[in-house]
Amino acid sequence: MNISNWDLAYDFAAAFGLVMLFIWYGNEKRIPSRAHKAFLGVCVGIMLVISVEIIEVFFGRFRNYIDDRAMYIVLYGQMLAILTACLFFAYYVKLLTKVPQKNLEIFVKNIKIATVACVVLMILNPFTEWLFVIEDKKILVHKGFVIPYVISVAMMLTAFSNIGKLSKEITFRKCIIMILNFVFCIVALVLQITGIATMFSFTLVTGCMTIYHYLQNPYAVMDTTTGQFNRRFMNDYITYRFEVNKSMGVFLIAMDDFKLINKTYGIDVGDNLLLQVGEYLNSLKYPGEVFRFGSDQFCAVMDKDLSQIPEIAEEVHERFMHPWYTGDGEAVMMSASICIVKCPQDAADMGELVDIMDYSMALAKKTKKGNISYASDMKLDNVRREKAVEKAVKLAMDREEIMVHYQPIFSIGKDAYNSAEALVRLKDDELGWISPDEFIPLAEKHGLIVELGDMILEKVCRFIRDFNLKDSSIEYIEVNISTVQLMHKGFAGRVKKILEEYDVTPDQINIEITETATIGDVSVVDANISELVEYGIKLSLDDYGSGYSNIDYINQMPFSIIKLDKSIIWEAFKNVKAGITLEYTIRMLNELQLLIVAEGVETEDMKNHLADIGCHYMQGWYYSKAVSDQDFMELIEKSA
Ligand code: C2E
Ligand code: MG
Ligand code: MG
């Protein structure tokens, strides 16, 4: 193959293509990711390869006029260019795969060693002549010439060996397109070596453009409304910084009452104002990046000079003291709450950071809107405890260690225990006993309650079946159901299925629900309740008197039992007015023909008085605390 005969048209076309790619790069927001930088390295490497190839062809054509030293430089340039392109590409491929950070660091170290080794070989070549010599304007290649190429190929193969573990952004479709590109490059290389067409570099460039479009497209990591990076990219960015133990200052800038702005000026103006805020934050002079964190929240991550944090926070705060302008020039005053979390001091990983940001923002919105607050000044123990409890619930669910205890309910009419309330219990190795009052709301918040609720119901049904409850005085078990469970479509269907699976009849279960102001989809809740009541399950209203005590609620919903909350019971024994209210409440419920359970009965006096004023059932420590299934059965047998 005589290089001086090569048709340079493809090389020039490739060079023009790459120049366009560099222009795109320069025009878009700079993406601060390692993959993006590595890919830029690949493009620079390919540009060098093309340039050297063009120079080589000219040198070949005018061989007799070219100085030997220039020939040496071009040959070294070629080796270095190929090495650069290949090693950056190998690194890029490695970054696309889910390799642990440590592996990656070793790989980068190897790349550095390989590069230094090749450069040393080149420096020594004039003395050792291991790589090549130029004699009579001819290049005589020696054995060492293949070393840089062997190193490049070896690094590429190592990188490709992990290709099975591609990161989540790379879908199968994208993968196929990349493979196709790779095949085209191989074909082009064969065509070039055999002298059929010198289109290898051109094919490399079309490959680069494809990668740019599919994998390095800035729009994939940008939020189009604000022109800042999106939240998914923020997760990647911050997670990486935690992985490599880099400290950072995370600013959460949350607009206050932005809904009002949207309502007053319309969504388009609202979007434009958000765009302006994003641009303003991006224009601040500090080393870092800006992300859109939530619909009306931004997150700025400062990664150097953390001592500047208070200054920057003040600057942002000050900016919101002045108006912003709509496209029509109308002045709009906006307020923003600023929370600062220093990492790793305040948060040690991404999950903790998000929890702290949520918590600090909720706190700021409640107490001091439009101000600057520091996570370090807040009591973060609550957040950490919440996280630990959430973990404990998940663990107990996975290990099937969730327990259910039973607290007997005494029937005054029958003078015997006639039912019981199932109360979930959780004991963690580290945290010890955790109260359901603490973990149930967390299970609701973190989407665990539906599964947890099903587990509890199954345990109750198994208890009813295994201990032959129908042969005892216990007519039914009260099961607490969270409103979140009721908002789940298909809840009633699942309850029926579980009951049938354990041969439990609907009259053996009572469902306890509490009155809540925040029912999401009322129609789903109503449908579930109607289905369950039609099936024969009775409904109890729990904690009556502790919340809104909306009489309408009682009138609308098909309750059979009303459970008076222990707080109103206890209050009635301390305070005359509360005593009168309780008496009248009980009278009213009796008139409505509802059965009444008094909760929190702790003394005989309480029991006697509550029975006198019309409560039908008693539940409380006077009788028993909630106990395990075995102990419960013993208690029932003893009392019979
Ligand atoms: P709740 O449904 O009102 O349950 C009654 C709570 O009062 C229980 O607390 C019980 O142990 C406590 N209690 C009963 N009698 C007395 C008494 O005489 N004195 C005192 N000081 N306390 C008494 P627990 O077990 O801590 O449960 C707290 C709450 O957690 C429950 O209130 C219920 O809302 C929720 N919960 C418990 N188990 C479950 C469950 O399986 N699912 C759901 N969704 N929530 C549950
Ligand atoms: Mg209850
Ligand atoms: Mg209750």
Q: The tokens 């929370």 sit on which residue?
A: 339
pTM: 0.66
Query: Which H helix or E strand runs over 546?
Result: none
Q: Is the peptide bond before 287 cis (omega within 30 degrees of 0)?
A: no
How confident is residue 64, by pLDDT bands cut at 50, 70 and 90?
Answer: confident
Nearest to 220 by CA among 382, 211, 81: 211
d(CA 209, CA 415): 83
Q: Residue 174, class by beta-carbon neighbours within 10 Å (0-12 exposed, 13-18 middle, 19+ buried)? A: middle
600 alpha carbon – ligand 1 mean position (Å) = 10
Ligand 1 neighbours (beta carbon < 6 A): 407, 422-424, 435-437, 440, 456, 480-482, 512, 542-543, 566, 599-602, 619-621, 626
**Secondary structure (3-state) at 477:** strand
Extract the tokens encoding 43.
Answer: 């493009």
At 1-37, the pLDDT tens digits run 566 677 889 999 999 999 999 999 888 888 899 999 9
Whose atoms come closest to the Cα of 436: which ligand?
Answer: 1
Considering the chain, what is the average pLDDT of its residues? Answer: 91
Pairing of strands 432-434, 416-428: antiparallel
The atom number, within ligand 1, closest to the CA of 512 reads 2
For ligand 1, atom 12, the nearest C-alpha belongs to 600
For the chain, which domains are there?
A: 3-219 (1.20.1070.10), 222-378 (3.30.70.270), 387-639 (3.20.20.450)
Q: Is the pLDDT assigned to residue 107 strictly greater than 70?
A: yes
DSSP 3-state percent helix, strand, coil across the chain (nearest 5) = 60, 15, 25
Return the pLDDT at 1.
53
Q: How many CA atoms lie within 13 A of 558 on its CB side?
A: 16
**pLDDT for the residue numbered 422:** 98
Q: Pocket of ligand 1, candidates 480, 516, 543, 566: which has the most ligand atoms within 8 Å of its Cβ, to mutate?
A: 480
CA nearest ligand 1 atom 15, residue: 620
Nearest CA to ligand 1 atom 24: 436
Confidence grade of residue 60 (pLDDT, cut at 50, 70, 90): confident
**Non-local CB neighbours of 187 within 8 Å, separated by 6+ positions:** 203
User: Which ligand 1 atom is nearest residue 543's CA?
Assistant: 3
Amino acid, res. 335? S
* Separation of CA 513 and ligand 2 centre (Å): 7
pLDDT at 203: 94
Nearest CA to ligand 1 atom 8: 423
Among 347-356, 372-381, 407-416, 523-532, the minimum mean pLDDT is found in 372-381
414 Cα to the center of ligand 2, angstroms: 22
Residue from 397, 407, 423, 546 whose mutation best tests the ligand 1 pocket (most atoms within 8 A of CB): 423
498 in Cβ contact with 532 (< 8 Å): no
Residue 231 is predicted with a pLDDT of 94
Q: Report the b/e string of 532-541 with b at 16+ CB within 10 A.
A: bbeeebbbbb
The CA 599 to ligand 1 mean position distance, Å, reads: 9
Q: List the shell of residues around ion ligand 3, using CB closer than 5 Å.
A: 542-543
Identify residue 192 by its one-letter amino acid code: Q
Q: Which ligand has an atom closest to residue 456 CA?
A: 1
What is the C-alpha separation between 333 and 47, in angstroms, rounded?
A: 50
> Quick one: angle between helices 34-61 and 9-27, nearest 10?
150
Residue 573: CB partners within 8 Å, gap ≥ 6? 579, 605, 606, 609
**Tens of pLDDT, residues 215-265:** 888 888 999 999 999 999 999 999 999 989 999 999 999 999 999 999 999
Quickly list H helices, 320-432. 350-367, 381-398
Give the Å distance between the CA of 563 and the centre of ligand 3.
6
* pLDDT exceeds 60 at position 43: yes
Residue nearest atom 27 in ligand 1 by C-alpha distance? 436
Q: Is the pLDDT of residue 518 over 60?
A: no
Per-residue pLDDT, 192: 83
Amino acid identity of residue 391, one-letter, is K
Ligand 1 centroid to residue 614 C-alpha, Å? 23
Identify the residue whose C-alpha is closest to ligand 1 atom 32: 437
Task: Tell how far the Cα of 512 is from the centroid of ligand 1, in angstroms.
Answer: 11
Residue range 561-610, pLDDT digits in tens = 999 999 999 999 999 999 999 999 999 999 999 999 999 999 999 999 99
Query: Does residue 521 surpass a pLDDT of 70?
Result: no
Write down the pLDDT at residue 398.
96
Q: Are 179 and 172 in contact (CB under 8 A)?
A: no
Model confidence over 419-456: pLDDT tens digits? 999 999 999 999 999 999 999 999 998 899 999 999 99
Q: Could you give the percent of the chain with pLDDT greater than 70?
A: 98
- Given CA atoms 486, 491, 495, 496 in this order, what sign does their dihedral have? positive
Nearest CA to ligand 1 atom 29: 437
Give the distance (Å) from ligand 1 centre to CA of residue 480: 9
**Residue 41 CA from chain centroid, whole number:** 31
Ligand 3 centre distance from Cα of residue 429 (Å): 28
Shortest-distance atom of ligand 1 to CA 456: 41
- Atom 17 (ligand 1): residue with closest C-alpha? 600
Confidence of residue 554 (pLDDT cuts 50, 70, 90): confident
- Contacts of residue 336, defined as CB under 8 A and 6 or more positions apart, other chains included, come to 253, 254, 255, 256, 277, 316, 320, 370
Closest ligand (CA of 626) = 1
